[in-house]
Structure 1
Amino acid sequence: MVAHFRMSDLGALSYYIGIEVKQGKEALTLDATLYRSIVGGLSYLVHMRLDIVFTVGYVSHFMEDPQEDHWAMVKRLLRYIKGMVDQVIVFPKTNGSGLRLTVFSDADMAGDING
């Protein structure tokens, strides 16, 4: 069985996999806009900072068209991280019973319709 695909001209490429594409006479520039760049950097940080996982996940939903309130949330998150740079999480040893860690998760993000 042979599949046939039809190509169509959709005009100049302006976005590709979430990255803005600017086409000039001498160069093609890929621009990961400031919001995407900051949130992308924060998404790497969540591997070491579990306290920001929810917020980074939430703001990443608005990469295509961030509004003022999304920017405000990202800025607040950056201020929070700056203020918490010297903070650590300590798991103290207990009386020979070992470490007991209990975790709770809300898989549907508390019914968030934007998530």
Structure 2
Amino acid sequence: MLNCKFVNTPMECGAKLSKVKKNEEKIDSTMFKSLVGSLRYLTCAKPDILFAVGIVSCIMENPTKLHMMAAKRILRYNKGTLDYGIFYSSSNDFKLMGYCGSDFAGDLDDRKSTTDFVFFYGNNAISWCSKKQPIVFYLDSSFELV
């Protein structure tokens, strides 16, 4: 991965990963689990990869070449953003801002949604999370209450 070409996003736009299909080629799960574990550790300093790492973390059993390619794409993204990280500045603009999002039934296997959020104090990220919802929601206003 030292000489790999970097990419601009940690995950392809609109990419959907699902559990193994019968005709897909499986790979060694030990290497995949080790890579995903390292990526999860890296999210402590790089919240920009949190969503993509959360998606590949859901496929720990029977990973395929497609899953490994998605995990390696995150590494390629990191290659181009080595100088990125969390920087806490002392600006005068100390407003609390929060952003959230969801992929609305993005898991192709169980149709559950992944919700994420990030909170900023001034220009500084102070809290972030990406979590798969425990229940399936249908398209109505009840999702906003979770």
Please give the TM-score of this superposition, normalised by the length of structure 2.
0.47
Report sequence identity in percent: 36
1:87 deviates by 2.2
Runs of 4+ off more than 3 Å: 88-92
Q: How many Å separate the matches in 2 of 1:39 and 1:63?
A: 9
When residues 92 and 103 of structure 1 are mapped into structure 2, their CA distance, relative to the original with a 3 A threshold, is same
Aligned to 2:44: 47
- RMSD value, Cα: 2.4
TM-score, length-scaled by structure 1: 0.59
How many aligned residue pairs are there?
81
1:63 matches 2:57 = no
Alpha-carbon distance, 1:92 to partner: 6.7
- Alignment partner of 1:33: what SS? helix
Unaligned stretches of 5+ residues in structure 1: 1-30
Quick one: higher RCO (CA 8 Å, sep 6+), 1 or 2?
2
Point out the structure with the larger strand share.
Answer: 2
For 1:50 and 1:74, locate their aligned partners in 2 and report how far apart those are by CA, in whole Å: 16
Question: What is the aligned partner in structure 2 of residue 79 from structure 1?
Answer: 76
Higher Cα Rg, which structure? 1
Alignment match, 2:107? 113
Greater helix percent: which structure?
A: 1
